[in-house]
């Protein structure tokens, strides 16, 4: 399943970069830079994940690496950096999809918002969603040592042989009642719910705009709008959102 998901992600991001480079005109430069950087980073990350399977395609895989000593040689600071980067990329699609729709809504449905004002709104919107992703990481940082402890305990109790690519089965049980785990799950659900709500609300207004647009614009303008929408839809990686929830 993970191979399929990340293969689709890699293909979509390659297609998205092609559209951005050759077929789209952007009204807000900040949005173009954000979209390009995110697509490029997500493309690289998806490709790395494909190469690294089955060891490192999920957070559980990270703990398997820890338990096997694969990354034990790194300093604590570097180890924390790798985990931070991994969690950020893991949740990046939940962050960026509503940003794309919000920008699209501003561009099409709010004629009074242009230039610096649009840049400020996009930057504010992105910052707020980034804070949610940061909260996800903070909550996860609190539980990762508990995960590792639980994993070691289960491995020792069952005398499982651990080797590269092995995966301990975490039986969470009553641990799910811990407030830190509940906080981690709650923040993830809130972020995802806000993202879905933003996408649905913006898409409703965007669809209304396209219906009202009709044949009142020239062919070049219509083609630009269609290419914009194709690039936007390429960002809606439903499989990845489901995978990361």
End-to-end CA distance of the chain, in Å?
15
Collect the ranges in the chain with pLDDT lower than 50.
Answer: 53-72, 142-143, 150, 160-177, 238-245
Distance CA 165, CA 68 (A): 9
Residue 57 is predicted with a pLDDT of 43
pLDDT at 130: 63
Long-range contacts (CB closer than 8 Å, 24 or more residues apart) made by 154-160: 155/67
Does pTM top 0.85 for this prediction? no
Residues 6+ apart with CB under 8 A from 183: 139, 142
Q: What is the pLDDT of residue 158?
A: 52
What is the pLDDT at residue 206? 74
Which of 199, 235, 200, 219 has the alpha carbon at shortest distance from 19?
Answer: 235
**130/138 Cα distance (integer angstroms):** 12
Return the number of other C-beta atoms located less than 10 Å from residue 46's C-beta: 23
The encoded tokens of residue 125 equal: 């919107």
């Amino acid at each position: 399943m993970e191979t399929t998901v990340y293969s689709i992600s890699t293909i979509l991001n390659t297609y998205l970069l092609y559209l951005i480079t050759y077929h789209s005109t952007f009204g807000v430069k900040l949005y173009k830079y954000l979209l390009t950087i995110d697509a490029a980073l997500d493309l690289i990350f998806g490709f790395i994940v494909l190469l690294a399977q089955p060891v490192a395609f999920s957070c559980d895989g990270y703990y398997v690496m820890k338990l096997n000593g694969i990354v034990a040689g790194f300093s604590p600071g570097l180890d924390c950096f790798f985990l931070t980067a991994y969690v950020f990329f893991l949740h990046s699609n939940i962050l960026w999809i509503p940003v794309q729709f919000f920008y699209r809504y501003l561009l099409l449905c709010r004629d009074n918002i242009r230039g610096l004002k649009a840049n400020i709104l996009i930057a504010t919107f992105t910052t707020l969603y980034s804070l949610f992703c940061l909260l996800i990481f903070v909550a996860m940082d609190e539980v990762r040592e508990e995960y590792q402890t639980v994993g070691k305990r289960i491995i020792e109790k069952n005398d499982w042989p651990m080797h590269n690519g092995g995966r301990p089965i975490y039986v969470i049980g009553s641990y799910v009642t811990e407030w830190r785990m509940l906080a981690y799950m709650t923040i993830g659900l809130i972020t995802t719910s806000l993202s879905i709500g933003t996408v649905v609300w913006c898409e409703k207004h965007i669809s209304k705009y396209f219906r009202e647009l009709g044949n009142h614009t020239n062919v070049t303008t219509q083609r630009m709008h269609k290419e914009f929408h194709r690039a936007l839809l390429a960002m809606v990686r439903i499989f990845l959102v489901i995978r990361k929830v």
